[in-house]
Structure 1
Amino acid sequence: MLKFPVLIGDIGGTNARFAILVDAYAAPKEFPTVRTADFATIDDAIQQAILDKTSILPLSAVLAVAGPVDGDEIELTNCDWVVKPRQMFETLGLREVLVLNDFEAQALAVVALGAEHLEKIGGGEAEDGMGKVVLGPGTGLGVAGLVHSRNIWIPVPGEGGHVDIGPRSARDFEVFPHIERIEGRISAEQILCGRGLVNLYRAVATADGVPPRFTTPAEITTAALDGSDATAVEALNIFVTCLGRLAGDLALVFMSRGGVYLTGGIAQKIIPWLKNGLFRAAFEDKAPHSAMVREMPVYVITHPLAALTGLAAYACTPESFGVETSDRHWIRD
């Protein structure tokens, strides 16, 4: 059991969100979102944006970070911060630190959130106790599974956002040669994240021989949603189609009769586009198992602090979840 008060944190490539749990029954005390670029280190951010703003001194921390958790110095994939749990004992006065993958926290949130925080994108009804998968395009592309065994939920972290993705339609074969690659390959994250959408938009523009007008994901999604730019419209169409293909693949991997969950600000913003039919068509196009996938529901998580909700659920009732803590839990001697 973690010692209260517990600091919980969801640290992504662009933003970090924190809250403090005074005990297992009180509502989390939330703090304003922090931009990672505004602080040199995570320790600085916690001290200046959290601890300096409250009289509550946390004894423990449960942090979810965007990157693989390996060793005593944990580097984030899309951020310069390095999490050093043992150093946090000295700089922040903590007695114990548990570090999880950020999409592990999102997976925990799936069973902690109510129906009011889920927007359904087709399919049948989620089956109780069956496998689930959560994925989210944001600064990067996060993926995690969730399986139920021996009356507990077990999150399955991974780096599924870096799987290969390739062209399928005739138009794909025109556009994909212009997508920026990493060491010769196109991973899902090269398309299905914020910078991936920009990458995709530029590829569509290049394929059509037109100059790109926009440079940010927000500009592209806005222009697509209001129909003011044909290149942006097509880029977003390809985006949701590829997201549907990947989501369907992951649904098969995890046999996700409990549902597929899309999380993050991009998914929330493009809900109307996710409902235009392209996403579900790509999601269900999984012969010979199309009929099975067709019944699997997809939801967009609309809660703005979903990962913190998942972390709070774990911190308060760790016995309800099969979270692996070996080599990820540091206790001050």
Structure 2
Amino acid sequence: MSPSIPPGIRLLLDFITYIGVGISLASLIICLIIEGFIWKSMTRNDTSYMRHVCVVNVAVSLLIADIWFIIGAAISDYQSVAVGPCTAATFFIHLFYLAMFFWMLVSALLLFYRTVMVLSQMKRSTMLAIAFSLGYGAPLIIAVVTVAATAGGGGYIREENVCWLNWNKTKALLAFVIPALTIVAINLLVMIVVLFKMLKRGVGDTTQNNDKHALVVIARCVAILTPLFGLTWGFGIGIMAAPEAVGLHVVFAVLNSLQGLFILVFGTLLDSKIKEALVRRLRNQSSGSGGTRSTSAGTSSNVLDFFRGIRRRNVYNVSGGPVVNSGSGTSSSYSAVNSSGNT
């Protein structure tokens, strides 16, 4: 985001960036694995389904953007950039960072729709079509238009430091900053409206019981991640205005490189329903691994019960009357054993 980097902190920023992005990549992979584990049990109603669709696509978008960021960093240096490879890397970084923000916008709009427009019923297929059109279609249009408008005069990418949108010549960076900060503002506005509605009518009055938890989790996720990511890129604007401010560089590098960890924590791990689903899944797997022992124990128990049943059926009533001997056709009578042991 900065037009220039102070030479004295380049090595420090490199360490912060690569360590932070590495943590983010691992966090996003863990997030996607967890979502795969609990998908069926957590997507039984439309609200919860769309919430997890948004989380997965936010994670996928940031994961791809971070991978392309690493590629861009590997093919550039502080003196110059390779135009062809850097153009491709910049396009995909721009596209998928924007996609992350637009999927956050989808989450906020889903929260608004389910909380405010209570009487409206939209099919799941319609919600998915709108979500993917907004989540990936809008960023693709912005990224393509940016390339078409600036690449001809050599003003699409920077000439040094990093594979990223140009600032000095064409201000192409605004094609990222303006949509991202606009989404942050919209999400904050949505949160204000939703909180007002919830406080006025209560969550139980605005939605069905099976949607309450999903809406609360969406609200918490949007309320935390939107200001956090907005603050992150706000520091980026700060270092654009004051590129020699060492503190802003360090804070921006830390916050920006750890976005994947924030998504894992606030989008997945803080959801109590996800933790319960994971515990159930792990218990089922552990009980499945002990299936042989359980089966053999159950079989032994069944055999013992069978023989006990036979024994109970063949016990004679010592105080009863005659017992018929089917073999001889005669009847016999048994007397009880007396207290002295004589018959």
TM-score for both structures, normalised by structure 2: 0.29
Please identify which structure carries the higher strand content: 1
Pick the structure with greater CA Rg: 2
TM-score for both structures, normalised by structure 1: 0.29
